[in-house]
Amino acid sequence: MAEGQPSSIIVPKYLQEDELSEDVRDLISTLPTDKGWFVNTIYQYQGFWHVPRQLQGLLNCQKHFKAQDTDILLATQPKSGTTWLKALTFSLINRKTKYPITLNHDHPLFSNNPHALVPFLEFDLFHVKDVVPDLSLFSSPRLFATHLPYVSLPESVKDSDCKIVYLCRDPKDTFISLWHFSNSLRLFKGTNPLKDSFDQFCRGINVGGPFWDHILSYWKESLLSLEKPKKKVMFLRYEELKMNTSFILKNLAEFLGCPFSKEEEDQGLVDDILKLCSFENLKNLEVNKNGKRPSGIANKAYFRRGEIGDWKNHLTHEMVDQLNTIVENKMGNFGFKF
């Protein structure tokens, strides 16, 4: 039962901290802890912070997930545009085979939240204690997502030719999005004071944090992969995706081995995918207004404003300076800027 909550309320799965296997319990009893933003406690493992359910999934998929060369893995920090990237990639890779692009409600994105179509390895597939999921029903190319940092990915992901698409977002907007999202999940616990969450974020203590290490881990891999015969990691930014969506979508299609043909471009297919996956279209669908994830999280929590720069409505000048300085100090040496 979550703290401070009437006894008649059924606790949604994302707040349950007690369905852990013995090995996970043993492990977390040894890990550094801090205050969670919506669960009571978060744990630091391999340098990054996780909610307990994510640790269960992390260990399980590290042990059991066998990547195939044709797999595609979408990697993000929470609130960097995961839902959008899932919608775009799902539409792209299935357009010639299973799901032709249509704007007349036949496409699966009209009746399914993108998270239901592209599962997270650690939250949706390997999250149940003592259960190894049967992935044989996924047809090739298999499309999965993860919030795990590069260091915690299953070894088979790193060793195989599977492709990784990483999407990052300006940490000022990521923070504001995460703060709103966490507050919506706190049930009867009230809103986290912005200042408290901000201080934790700046110390790297949030789910998926420290943000600088998460982003750099994939940034470095994307640079390394440029030197290899086959590019493994494609590194994207939410802001560029917003401003130049069709150009990036075409690059993504190339990277994933399913480039747009001239005929498809002439038919306006790129624009159709953009419309299908647009914030306005997805947010206003019945499934995303009233549906829920199996974890109990409402689908509408994934569609708030979908803009660049909402941080301006929340952060003081001092906070902005503080975050910009962290980015400069932690990421500047690697040539990384927002």
Backbone angles phi, psi at 285, to 5 degrees: -75, 145
Distances 137 to 130, 134, 140, 224 between C-alpha atoms, Å: 20, 7, 10, 33
Tell me if 50 contacts ligand PAP by CB under 6 A. no
Task: Specify whether the CB–CB gap between 37 and 181 falls below 8 A.
Answer: no
Helix (H, G, I), strand (E, B) or coil at 143: strand
Query: Looking at 54, 60, 76, 113, which residue binds ligand PAP (CB under 6 A)?
Result: 76
Looking at residues 303 to 332 of the shown chain, list those that interact with ligand PAP (rule: CB under 6 A): 303-306, 310
Among 71, 170, 173, 272, binds ligand PAP (CB under 6 A): 173
For ligand PAP, the closer of residues 49 and 303 by Cβ is: 303
Among 50, 53, 79, 237, binds ligand PAP (CB under 6 A): 79
HSE-CB at 34 with a 13 A cutoff on CA atoms is 17
Task: Work out how close the CB of 258 gets to ligand PAP at its nearest, in angstroms, rounded to a whole number.
Answer: 20
Specify the residue, 81 or 119, whose C-beta has the smaller distance to ligand PAP: 81
Residues serving a catalytic function are 147
Q: Which is nearer to ligand PAP, 23 or 271 (by Cβ)? A: 271
Q: Is 295 exposed, middle or buried (0-12, 13-18, 19+ CB in 10 A)?
A: middle
Question: Which of 80, 89, 146, 152 contacts ligand PAP by CB under 6 A?
Answer: 80
Nearer to ligand PAP, 27 or 187 (CB): 187
Kindly state whether residue 84 participates in binding ligand PAP, applying the rule CB under 6 A.
yes
Footprint of ligand PAP on 224-253 (CB under 6 A): none
- Which amino acid is present at 318? E
- Residues in CB range of 327: below 8 A, 6 or more apart: 171, 212, 336, 337, 338
At its nearest, how many Å lie between ligand PAP and the CB of residue 226? 25
Q: How far is the CB of 83 from ligand PAP (least distance, A)?
A: 3
Work out whether the CA dihedral 301, 302, 306, 308 comes out positive or negative.
positive
Geometric angle at alpha carbon 287, from 286 and 289, rounded to 5°? 60
Q: Count the site residues for ligand PAP by CB under 6 A.
A: 21
User: Is residue 48 a contact point for ligand PAP (CB under 6 A)?
Assistant: no
What letter would DSSP give residue 207? T
Site string for ligand PAP, 196-215 (x = CB under 6 A): --------------------
Nearer to ligand PAP, 115 or 142 (CB): 115
Tell me phi and psi for residue 208, to 5 degrees: 90, -10
Single out the residue of 215, 270, 234 nearest to residue 88, CA to CA.
270
Q: Under the rule (CB under 6 A), what is the footprint of ligand PAP?
A: 76, 78-84, 173, 177, 180, 277-279, 282, 302-306, 310
